[in-house]
């Protein structure tokens, strides 16, 4: 199924069926004064990214590829909770040279190349494979059983829209070597996937949280929460328990932006989520260019609290690793 209909407008809302093609070139893009924009403007105004994480008791990894047309960037980092060490590599390509993201959320390929480093993300139905090779990094990661993702499209600003496909709590396998260190990817870890694109608001700010892990009782939990983005008629808030998605209501993030090491409280208005988050490692980026800007802080840390399933049963979240983000972007 394609996202843009014959009238040049996207379908809005949540989707239980796969959106196989983001045919954004068919979008009837207009100015805020309703003036049709040329076809080339649809290409340059369209942003797209993928983010993948692996989370476990001992370490956590985040990886992203971002295509903003004027520039593309990619990063990978690991936070080791045992040592407190954070390792990071990041790359930037002007005019998105060496970067390609297919507009196919389910089966598409995402590729980023810079020098001798290549990042590749390939989707195939319920599975996704991620590889990184170069600069001392050798990653071969598989995420599987992605059967109940959250798919939605929401309005963005006056004339734009955003599509996102998210999953959390996925089984993972593979290998990761970074320099002299080898990190074990086994059944005790879980993963997340974020595939997003669209004609986004010129200036966007949001908070976001995700976790993926296994409780002491052996149940798999995944969580995706956001506030400030994708909130026009829908939300991108969802909880996965043993792979089954539970839709959540509005999310609230209580924190002190200017005390980045202080704890956060994350709740939902339906009462299903009540968590505390203690930051440990952080990946930050601050860019203030003429056309583009980013004030980005993504914290690796530990969640404690409770989540509630569809039957009203409460699950304790105890020392489960995850991520929280505070981000301003000018695209």
Which tokens hold the place of 153? Answer: 């499209």
**Is the residue at 95 inside a domain?**
yes
Which tokens hold the place of 268? Answer: 């939902």
**Is the residue at 2 inside a domain?**
no
Compute how many other C-beta atoms are within 10 angstroms of the C-beta atom of residue 181. Answer: 13
**Alpha-carbon separation of residue 251 from 162, 272, 298, 324, 327 (angstroms):** 18, 10, 18, 13, 16
pLDDT at 206: 92
pLDDT at 151: 98
pLDDT at 181: 96
In which domain, by residue range, is 193 found?
A: 13-330
Contact 256, 240 (CB under 8 A): no
**Is the residue at 4 inside a domain?**
no
**Is the residue at 76 inside a domain?**
yes
User: What SS3 state is found at 222?
Assistant: strand
Q: How high is the mean pLDDT in each 10-residue block of the chain (331 residues)?
A: 97 96 97 93 95 97 95 95 96 95 96 97 95 97 97 95 98 97 94 97 92 95 95 94 96 93 96 97 82 87 96 95 93 73
pLDDT at 260: 77
Which tokens hold the place of 148? Answer: 């109940």
pLDDT at 249: 96
**Is the residue at 138 inside a domain?**
yes
Contact 93, 71 (CB under 8 A): yes
Tens of pLDDT along 200-253? Answer: 988 888 999 999 999 999 999 999 999 999 988 899 999 999 999 999 999 999
**Is the residue at 3 inside a domain?**
no
**Is the residue at 7 inside a domain?**
no
How many domains, the chain?
Answer: 1
Distance CA 15, CA 18 (A): 7
**Alpha-carbon separation of residue 99 from 113, 117, 197 (angstroms):** 6, 12, 15
**Is the residue at 8 inside a domain?**
no
Distance CA 191, CA 142 (A): 9
């Amino acid at each position: 199924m394609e996202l843009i209909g014959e009238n040049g407008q996207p379908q809005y809302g949540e989707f239980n069926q796969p959106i196989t093609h983001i045919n954004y070139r068919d979008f009837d893009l207009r100015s805020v004064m309703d003036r049709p924009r040329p076809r080339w403007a649809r290409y340059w105004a369209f942003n797209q990214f993928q983010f993948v994480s692996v989370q476990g008791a001992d370490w956590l990894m985040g990886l992203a590829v971002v295509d903003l047309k004027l520039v593309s960037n990619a990063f990978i980092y690991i936070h080791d909770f045992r040592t407190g060490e954070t390792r990071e590599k990041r790359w930037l390509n002007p005019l998105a040279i060496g970067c390609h993201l297919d507009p196919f959320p389910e089966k598409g390929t995402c590729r980023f190349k810079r020098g001798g480093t290549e990042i590749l993300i390939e989707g195939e139905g319920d599975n996704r494979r991620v590889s990184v090779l170069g600069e001392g990094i050798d990653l071969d990661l598989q995420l599987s059983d992605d059967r109940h993702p959250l798919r939605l499209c929401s309005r963005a600003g006056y004339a734009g829209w955003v599509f996102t496909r998210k999953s959390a709590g996925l089984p993972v396998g593979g290998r990761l070597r970074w320099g002299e260190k080898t990190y074990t990817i086994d059944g005790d870890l879980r993963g997340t996937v974020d595939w997003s694109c669209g004609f986004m608001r010129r200036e966007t700010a949001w908070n976001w949280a995700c976790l993926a892990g296994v409780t002491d009782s052996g149940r798999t939990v995944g969580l995706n929460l956001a506030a400030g983005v994708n909130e026009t008629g829908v939300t991108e808030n969802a909880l996965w328990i043993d792979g089954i998605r539970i839709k959540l209501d509005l999310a609230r993030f209580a924190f002190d932006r200017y005390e980045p090491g202080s704890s956060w409280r994350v709740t939902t208005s339906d009462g299903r989520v009540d968590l505390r988050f203690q930051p440990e490692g952080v990946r930050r980026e601050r860019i203030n260019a003429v056309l583009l800007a980013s004030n980005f802080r993504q914290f690796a840390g530990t969640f404690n609290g409770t989540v509630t399933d569809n039957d009203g049963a409460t699950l304790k979240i105890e020392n489960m690793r995850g991520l929280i983000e505070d981000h301003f972007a000018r695209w």
